[in-house]
Amino acid sequence: MEYVRDPDEIYRQSFEIVRAETDLSGVPDDMGDVVIRLVHACGMPEIAADLRWSDGVASAARAALGAGAPVICDAQMVADGVIAARLPAENQILSMIRLPNLVALAREQGTTRSAAQVELWKPFLPGSVVAIGNAPTALFRLLEVIAEDPSRKPAAILGFPVGFVGAAESKVALHDGANDGSHDVPYMTILGRKGGSAMAAAAVNALAGRYEA
């Protein structure tokens, strides 16, 4: 079979196609690479129309990463997708979903493991970059924690939970909350059911990429 085997050529062609097929009109300069990486992660140029972000989210996330902030992930798949070598300050990549006490904590709270782990995030949240690519309940609970105690605000929330129950609603809550004053955390998200761990990790990698050696 004839196909491209050279990894550098695959990389070059991939991003050439993404740039040719993605409508970047209206995308600010500091968000262009992020949008391109997200399209590359899911293979769908049309998602550009559904992406939402707050002004300054790229600079806020990059500054936090440059200062050594941890990257907090709702799923191990997100954590595994973050390229540690791209991070500028040997930043911690934290995922607590596999901790052995989480099942009991979730049962005690009457919620999902993904939401229960947010309680364990609390000491690490201030100034962090949070990447959610799987669980709407984690995003909902994070927004509740911020409302309960604004001192725990992350530097940025990259909210890409995927699915049919709560995913669209959790992202609307993130988007609307930034616009109605419920929270003032810089954010990026995609409206609707789409999302996923690959997109959340791609957003982190894109925001960290300018520091790559």
Query: For 157, phi and psi rounded to 5 degrees?
Result: -120, 125
Global confidence as pTM: 0.94
Q: How far is CA 149 from the centre of its chain?
A: 22
> In this predicted model, what pLDDT tens digit does every residue of 138-158 receive, in sequence order?
999 999 999 999 999 999 999
Which one, of 92, 13, 47, 57, lies nearest residue 198 by Cα? Answer: 47
Residues with a known catalytic role: 40
Do the beta carbons of residue 121 and residue 79 sit within 8 Å? no
22-to-1, 34, 48, 207 alpha-carbon distances in Å = 29, 12, 7, 19
Strand ranges inside 12-95, DSSP E:
51-53, 71-73, 93-95
pLDDT at 210: 55
Which pair of tokens denotes residue 209? 């990429």
Check whether domain 46-211 has CATH 3.40.630.30, yes or no: no
pLDDT at 39: 97
> In this predicted model, what pLDDT tens digit does every residue of 113-127 receive, in sequence order?
999 999 999 999 999
Site of tokens 């600010």: 28
Q: In what order do the strands lie in the sheet with 93-95?
A: 51-53, 187-190, 156-159, 129-132, 71-73, 93-95
> In this predicted model, what pLDDT tens digit does every residue of 24-33 receive, in sequence order?
998 999 999 9
pLDDT at 212: 37
Do the beta carbons of residue 113 and residue 96 sit within 8 Å? no
Chain mean pLDDT for the chain:
94
CA angle 36, 42, 46 (to 5 degrees): 65
Q: In the chain, pLDDT over 70 holds for what percent of residues?
A: 98
pLDDT at 183: 87
Q: Which of 170-174, 200-204, 209-213 has the lowest mean pLDDT?
A: 209-213
